[in-house]
Each structure stands twice: as C-alpha cells, then as structure tokens.
Structure 1
Amino acid sequence: MTNTSNAAIGLLTRGSGETLIDQIVRSVSSRIDDKLLRSGARMPSIRQFAATHGVSCFTVVASYDKLVAKGYVESRRGAGFFVRERSPLNAGERSMPDAPPAALEAKPLDVVWLIRNMFRPAPSQRVPGSGVLPSEWLDGPMIANALRAVSRQSGALLVNYGAPQGFLPLRQQLQLKLAELEIDAAPEQIVTTVGVTQALDLVAREFTRPGDTIFVDDPAWFLMFGAFAAMGLKVIGISRLADGPDIAQLAAMAALHKPKLYVINSVLHNPTSTSLSAAKAFQVLRIAEEHGFTIVEDDIYCDLHPGSAVQPATRMAALDQLHRVIYLGGFSKSLAANLRVGFIATSPEWAQRLCDRKMLATLTTSDIGERVVYKVLSEGLYRKHVDRLRGRLDAVRARTVRQMEKVGLHVDVAPPAGLFVWTDTGIDTSALAERAMIEGLLLAPGALFSPSQLPSTRMRMNVSTSQEPGVWEFLARELRR
C-alpha cells in the first residue's frame, strides 16, 4: 500500500492567525481533494510527520483527529492512519462555499475529543483539564498487595463468572459504607457495575424510552450527553448554582417537559466541586414527587469530601431512603480507574430489574476487580488512603486558586474540597484549548460541559494536575493576547 511519507504539505507559518492544526488539516484535505493523495494511502506516522514539519506530536495527533472527523482520514488500530475512500457527497463538500461552517466540518472540539486526549500518554502535570487524580497520588502497592491476595484464592473462583448482582461480600461491605452516609441499603438492593458510566447507562436504558426527556445539571459531566442522545433521549440542562440547581427553572421545566430522570451530583459536583444544600435537596425531592420523575444521584466523588462533620454534605438518597432516588457510587476516582468497580443502590424491585438489564448487557462484572476492592475496604486500608488524598488536595487547592487569579482567571466560588475549580477566562475556551493542545497541554473547555455545547468562557481545572509552571506560563500569555 502506498505510503505518503514523502508528501510534504508546504511551509507552516506561525503567527499567521491560523493555527498549525488548521494549516495542516487544510493542506492535507486539499491534497486529498485534488487527488494528490490517493484513497488507501498510508499517512506518515505521527513521529515522522512531526519531525518532517517541525511541529509537536500533539499537533499532529490533533490534526489527524480533525481529518478523521472530517472524513478525509481513517484510523486503523495497530496500523496507523490512511486516506479514506471519498464518497461523491464528501467530494462535493468543497463546492458549497455558502454553507454554514457546521455543514462543512465537524466541531474542532467535542466530547469525544476530550475523552480521546485524556487517554493519550502525557505527563500528569500537563493535563489540567483531566478528570482524575495523578497516578502517582494513588496507592499502586496497596492495589498490588490486594491483587496478590486474591490470586492466592481458589483457581476456580478466578476463572468462572462472578455473581450477576455482584460479589456478595463486597455488597455487604458497601452496605456498611452507605450506612455511614445514613443510606439504608441491604445487599439485595445493591448491584455492582463497570464504573458509574455503566451504572448510568443501565439506569437510562431501564427507565426511559426513545423520545423521553432526561434532565442533567448545566454544567455537568459531559460523557452523559452523547450517551443519552444516542439512546434517542432529549437531554435538557438545569442551571447549577453554588448550592444546587436553579429551583425555579427546575420546577418550570419539569412541568413543561415531564422528564423521566434527573441526573445530579449532590456532593462535589463536576465541574464546580460545589455541594447541594439541605434546603435545595428537599425542594428537588418535592418537585420530583410532584412531577413523577426519578432522581439519579451520582456520588462518584463521595470519598474526596471530608464528611458532614467537617463540611455540610446532603445526599438525597439519605433523605429519600431510595424511594425516588437511585444512588450511584464507585472507586475509579479515588482508588483505581483500571478496576472499573461501581455500584447502584436502589429499591429491591428496581435492583432486580437493573440486575436483569446488566445480565443482558455484560452477563456479570469482573469478580476479580470486585474482590480486590473488597479486600482494600474490609481491611481498613481505604479510609487511610482517602484521608491522605484529601490532605494532598487541601495542600494544593488554595495555592492553585491564587495562581489562577494571578494570571487573570476569575473564580466565582473557591470550593473547600474536591478536585476541580470552575473558572472564567473571559475568552472562548474552545479556541484556548486548541492552542493549548499545540503546546502539549490538555484543557477542558466549558462548552463541553453543557448539553447545548455553546461557546463558553468557562473552563474546568483539576488542582492536582495543574502544578507545572508551564501551565501557568501558557495561560498568562494567552490571557494577555
């Protein structure tokens, strides 16, 4: 198959007003349209392209990703990037100069863009838009010891399917954990999942049908939007304030749209790290009762909160006792993302329905991962671990907020706990994120956190991955432009 390694794209110019990524995309797509690069030809490797044209590998990756999104290039796992076969519709796109930009090309940044780049190898201090703790903050040896202990158990236990509802000793341990949060849930009310991501998917598929409406916070965790839309659901954002949702808007929208579900972070909301007040929690429950929708309480950051004895933290599942609230939790943010152990706590009837739904999707979850998490929880290691995590976050949070303000970022609410700060840059953060990617920095622009994905000046920053001076040098320079 022909290789395009000798296909130079011309001189790239810095300071021309057009980003290096856009110059590469424009030049390569033009050569494909002009048949100078043939369908099926292999594109240069990322390193080869970067060396030939004097740009960073991050710039090439972002350029290739945009070419894939535009339909010019395809990625083949393990083989590289190849010029894609062009359909007549694709080939005719250049002849529509009056078409709006959205018709000509995919958005330069979208939810998939952020997720894809979050999984690319990069120094943890150069990903201020990341949604996780640096791996060096987590306790790998603790996980390794627990895994070794599990491996010494009966071989039959390690090679067979796990229980559909989840490893029973883990569910019993979760019962104790939930009791500390004043949530009464017996083991038969708990279903384990592949993280909170699968938990949300199972709940949405079980309790909604195409055409139904689902409410989310605005801003909120971006991964939900595309997943729910792919199910044929109408996704509507409810404005999130410092103490919870805008109650007047929630009541009005509930009366108008009659949602089936409302997905909400009560504690350490992503991306603001704010928490729900008790007054707001009661009001949300009242509106849910009045309009007949179910609340899905995503509490994935539960263990990064110091607890109600130190700071107020109201969980609707504790007030409602799993009558109209489905509670979701997990350990990917605080223990190990690679274990992918999450859980759903709900009524016994709904737990059985969700277990059946889980079996249709994946049969069972990983019994090995659940045994490892059980080992860590049951031996008291986890409590000390999360205490250390909270201490490290507290040590960098205030300093990071001061640094934000120093470079010109505005922080409405400086959260007292959690990973994130929701900051206002005063400029379009999607464009800012594109420029950051050229320099090997991953930002999380505000547009991705809203169901509307309209341009935003907001940005989520992770205090644990924003400690490198290069992050602040870039932001200070860009905000002075």
Structure 2
Amino acid sequence: MTNTAKSPSTAPATTEAPRPLLSRTAGSSLIEQIVQLITSRIDDKILRTGARMPSIRQFSDQHQVSRFTVVEAYDRLVAGGLLESRRGSGFYVRDRAPMLTPRAQGVQAAAQQPVDVVWLVRNMFRQLPPQKMPGVGLLPNEWLDGDLVANALRAVSRQNPNLLLQYGIPQGFLPLRQQLQLKMAELEISATPDQFVTTAGVTQGLDLVARHYIQPGDTIFVDDPGWFLMFGSFAALGAKVVGIPRLPDGPDIAQLAELAELHRPKLFIINSILHNPTSTSLSAAKAFQVLKIAEQYDFMIVEDDIYCDMHPGTAVQAATRIAALDQLNRVIYLGGFSKTLAANLRVGFIATSPEIARQLADRKMLTALTTTEITERVVYRILSEGHYRKHTDRLRTKLNAVRDKTIRQMERIGIKIHFNTPAGMFAWTDVGCDATILAEKAMEQGYLLAPGALFSPNQLPSTNMRFNVAAMADPGIMRFLEREIGKS
C-alpha cells in the first residue's frame, strides 16, 4: 500500500480560525488590547524571536479592526522593544535581553555600589514609596498641593500658545522677577528685577556661581556638615573644598577666621536658615561676624536659603540672613521652590548685584540658553495669586505636628539628637554605630537612609545620620532602627 501521508516538512501550514480575542465593550481600548495580546504571546513563547507578524491588512481583516488601530498597536510594540519594523518586509518579533524589574535592578545596583554621594542621589530616583525614604530632602507628595500646581499649569496653558513655543530670556521671566522683588522685601533684602537670574533650582544656581568665580586650585568654604551634592561638583571644577564646623547658631567663627587667613577662599557657601542637615539657623551675631571676616579676607558669601519658607519666623527661632545685612554687595543669595511646591518644578533664582546678575545670565545663556519659561510662569501665577503663603503655612503646621513626635520616638530607641531645633524637616542625629553600614542594611529592607559621612567634605566614617522627620510615617522604619541599634 502506498503511504500517501505527507511528512511534517511538506505539510501545508494551518491557520487558526478567527476567535473573538478583542472586545469593544472592554474597559481598555482596542489598541491596548492588541498590545496586551501580542505581549502575552511573546512572553508565553507562542510568538518566538524572529517570527513574522501578520501584515497590518491581515491583522485588520482577521480581527475586524481598522488598519489605523493595528498601525498604532504595532508602533507601540516597536517602541516597547517587542517588535522591529523591517522596511519592505513587515514586522518581526524582536530578540529581547533579559530585563530586571525596576525594583530588582535597583536592589542589585544598590548592593554593588559603595555608599557614597552618587549612591544616595541615584537611590533618590528609584521611585521607592516616599514614606520609605527618610534619607531624602523632600516632603512627602501627600503634603504638597498637586491641585495648586495643576491649576496654575492649566491657567498658563490657556494663554497665547505662541508665548509657550519660544525661548524665554536668559535672566528669567520678568513678571516672576518682579514678584521675587516683593518676596525679598519681606526678608528685608532690597533688590530690583535686574538683580535676579532664574535657574533650574538652587543646584544650577550654585554651579553658575562657582563656575563664574572659581579657577582650578582655588578654595571654597562649605558648612561641615553641609549639603553633600556640592562637594563633588566643586571638586570637579578643580577647587579645594574646605569644611567649616557648624555649631547650633552658625559656623565656628574662630575656625572660619583661622582657615580664611590660611586658605584665602574665593567663596563661602552657607545654609543660613534651617541648615541642611542640622535644621539650625544663623544667629544675628554670627551673621555679622561672618560678613566681617568675608570683608577682611575678601571672599564672597553664597547664601543658600532654599528652606526659607519652612521657617516659622523669629518669634520661634532666630532667622537672620547675611544678605539682609549686606544688601547683596558681598553676598549672593539663592532661593527656590522645589522643596515647597514640587521637586519636578525646577524653579530657583539668584539675587546679586546688577553687574554680577548680568554676567551670570550670560554664563547661563552660554551653558543652557534659558530656563523653562513655562514653569516660571506657573510659579509666578502661584505667587501672584496669593496661594503660596497659605500653602506654606499648612506645610509648617504639618511639620510642627510630626517633628516632636518623631524625635521622641527616635530618642526612645536610643538615637541621640544633636540639635533639637523647633523647626525644619531634618533631624541631625547620632545612631551610635557606623551609619554607612546601617544605611546598607536599611537598603536591603527597602529603606533609604542618609549616613552622616556623606555630609562632610572629608567623607570619613561617622555615627551621624540625617533623618527627614516628614518621611518616617512607615512604622517599619522605627522597628528596623530599634532592632539594628539595639544590636550595637
């Protein structure tokens, strides 16, 4: 008998009968359903690497959807790295390298990287829940007013569209600078609009000032402890970074005078109000002494006042700004709104003499052209409509409500508070063990802490730790700290 069966290699290809895989009554769009369908088939190895996809016409006819819908779905799959488009040939399943989930990737990277400034900054952007990041310098999202920002953004979007398409001017949106003039006057600092330069946050402001004044080999003074991000930035410019010990009412004046005579610095970067990381503020006497030493040894003072609007006022704690004494002759003042409005709203400013402002605006233009006028218009609207003052009042009330309670909890488990100040978001503490090792253990549990070694230019091992009292709502943080500190 002749065997008439055909071998598998010569058997005709069979096609599945069309099945109703897509639904017009589902909660998701047809495009999303197609993307999900093909993604699941690729994940389940039904569609393998190199497999040719049905043509747009074939898929459209088989599933009774428009060709436009198929084109949109295929384009999304190409953008997501699942398909590739070959000109004149069609769409094919793309070879994908194994990918870690964002969380697994972050945990693996954190385990491999030493705990340094880059480690802390990189982990700030890992998108951990805010309540699991007491090491960051931001208020929790739920404390901020997303509606306030969104309403201002919508109002700006309704303005003449042509205003949103062109460059701004290097010195910044003029109505915002006029509004800043009023804000500074409340701080007893006199400045005209031509004395302001807007920046993408205080970070860019510090960078512009440093690049304007510093040559390789020059010395910059900073608070010790102080804001860690600037240490590496200044060192990259070839500057020598020297720390000035910070005391409860400001810098150690004796050390400042001695080191100024020795190093002849170009700049002294100082956090005058609600200092990061100690939340201390400069006394009037210290402010006067710092200015006097700057005049004696001819260096500029850069006053970083990013936490300005979290301060409750002089009735609670001294709040003297060096710029108020000097009126922007030897002092360059920096401020911004990322801490109080939104981290993603990168609007800051520099206030200085008119001549230096022009020079810094030119430098800004050469390095970044202009800052984003859209965000500057948003901030202007919030300030000019009077909403900002009420918003910051609410923030201070919330900080007052959690600060004492959180500090008492930390003291109960054996954490020492260095400067138990009545305001600000930070507590500068002694955890009684190597804070860097503690931070590594915390990261393994999904918590981001900020070890004290990062806040000093010398980066030496330390038992100090900075905590954000507003970001410790997760009870697991205290349980972790109590367990680990109890072992030391």
- Are 2:456 and 1:450 aligned? yes
3-state SS of 1:295 partner: strand
Residue aligning to 1:186: 192
- Are 2:51 and 1:45 aligned? no
Question: What CA distance in whole angstroms lies between the structure 2 residues aligned with 1:130 and 1:466?
Answer: 11
Q: Which amino acid aligns with 1:146?
A: A
Residue aligning to 1:226: 232
TM-score between both structures, scaled by the size of structure 2: 0.79
Preserved CA contact (<8 Å) 2:432 2:463? yes
Residue aligning to 2:415: 409
Question: What CA distance in whole angstroms lies between the structure 2 residues aligned with 1:121 and 1:269?
Answer: 26
Deviation at 1:413, TM superposition (A): 1.7
Question: What CA distance in whole angstroms lies between the structure 2 residues aligned with 1:412 and 1:340?
Answer: 31
Residue aligning to 2:280: 274
Residue aligning to 1:95: none
Instruction: Name the Cα RMSD after superposition.
Output: 1.5
3-state SS of 1:337 partner: coil
Q: Which amino acid aligns with 1:315?
A: R
Q: Which amino acid aligns with 2:407?
A: V
1:205 to 205, 211, 225: 211
Preserved CA contact (<8 Å) 2:434 2:463? yes
3-state SS of 1:46 partner: coil
3-state SS of 1:132 partner: coil
Residue aligning to 1:103: none
Residue aligning to 1:474: 480
Deviation at 1:412, TM superposition (A): 2.3
- Are 2:345 and 1:362 aligned? no
3-state SS of 2:335 partner: strand
Question: What CA distance in whole angstroms lies between the structure 1 residues aligned with 2:101 and 2:353?
Answer: 53
TM-score between both structures, scaled by the size of structure 1: 0.80
Residue aligning to 2:249: 243
Alignment of 1:119-134 (within 5 A): 119-134=125-140
Residue aligning to 1:291: 297
- Are 2:110 and 1:61 aligned? no
Preserved CA contact (<8 Å) 2:110 2:443? no
Measured against aligned partners, the alpha-carbon deviations of 1:158-202 in whole angstroms (never above 9, x if no partner) come to 000001100000000000000000000100000000000000000
Alignment of 1:114-153 (within 5 A): 114-153=120-159
1:319 to 312, 315, 325: 325
3-state SS of 2:382 partner: helix
Preserved CA contact (<8 Å) 1:164 1:365? yes
Q: Which amino acid aligns with 1:45?
A: M
Question: What CA distance in whole angstroms lies between the structure 1 residues aligned with 2:99 and 2:442?
Answer: 22
Measured against aligned partners, the alpha-carbon deviations of 1:44-73 in whole angstroms (never above 9, x if no partner) come to 53349xxxxxxxx46x53433564x5xxxx
5+ residue gaps, structure 1: 1-41, 49-56, 70-107
3-state SS of 1:351 partner: helix
3-state SS of 2:223 partner: strand
3-state SS of 1:421 partner: strand
Residue aligning to 2:85: none
Change (3 A) 1:125 1:447: same
Question: What CA distance in whole angstroms lies between the structure 1 residues aligned with 2:418 and 2:171?
Answer: 43
5+ residue gaps, structure 2: 1-95
Deviation at 1:270, TM superposition (A): 0.1
Preserved CA contact (<8 Å) 1:425 1:479? yes
Deviation at 1:309, TM superposition (A): 4.2
Residue aligning to 1:437: 443
3-state SS of 1:121 partner: coil
Question: What CA distance in whole angstroms lies between the structure 2 residues aligned with 1:61 and 1:378?
Answer: 41
Measured against aligned partners, the alpha-carbon deviations of 1:221-257 in whole angstroms (never above 9, x if no partner) come to 0000010011111001000010000111100100000
Question: What CA distance in whole angstroms lies between the structure 1 residues aligned with 2:107 and 2:237?
Answer: 28
Measured against aligned partners, the alpha-carbon deviations of 1:275-304 in whole angstroms (never above 9, x if no partner) come to 001111111011000000000000000000
Change (3 A) 1:427 1:44: farther
Question: What CA distance in whole angstroms lies between the structure 1 residues aligned with 2:315 and 2:361?
Answer: 34
Residue aligning to 1:75: none
Sequence identity percentage: 68
Question: What CA distance in whole angstroms lies between the structure 1 residues aligned with 2:291 and 2:109?
Answer: 47
Preserved CA contact (<8 Å) 1:400 1:467? no
Preserved CA contact (<8 Å) 2:199 2:347? yes
Change (3 A) 1:436 1:44: farther
Residue aligning to 1:384: 390
Larger Rg: 1 or 2?
A: 2
3-state SS of 2:344 partner: helix
